[in-house]
Amino acid sequence: MSEIKSDTGPNLPHPADDEIQLAKVLFALSDPGRLELVRQLQEAPLEAARCHLTDPEIPKSTKSHQMKVLREAGVIRNEPHGRGRLLSLRREALERRFPGLLEAVLGAL
């Protein structure tokens, strides 16, 4: 056991709060599959392996790609967690940057 944060580990790059761009966020959310994933993170962070229940046939590489688009847009965080990954919504960052946006998107039918 070690408390040292492994630099060599699978720590993926995330944009800083103030680097999050509106256009990229809107684009990331403009896909039904990605939007669905975001909805699943509404209540609480989720292990990647536990979401996307709707389509169990999707290859993991495809799923990984969708997570990447959301992560690079600054919509979700993707961190190591046990032998998998923990996905979470970047609520605070998005709210600070684009107040009301996430709520409006998630609130829609």
Partner DNA sequence: CTCATGGTTCGAATATAGTTGAACTATCGG
Partner DNA sequence: CCGATAGTTCAACTATATTCGAACCATGAG
For its own copies, the binding residues (CB under 8 A) are 22-24, 26-27, 29-32, 35, 97-101, 103-105, 107-109
| Closest to 13 in 3D by CA, of 85, 65, 79 | 79
Applying CB under 7 A, the residues found at the interface with DNA are 6, 8-10, 12, 27, 31, 33, 47-49, 58-69, 78, 80, 82-85
- Work out the widest C-alpha separation in the chain, in whole angstroms: 46
| Residue 66 contacts which entry, its own copies, DNA, none (Cβ below 5-8 A, type-dependent) | DNA
- The nearer residue to DNA, 15 or 33, going by C-beta atoms, is 33
Least CB distance to DNA at residue 74 (A): 15
- The 8-class DSSP code of residue 81 comes to E
- The DSSP code for 48 is G
Residue 66 structure tokens = 């969708």
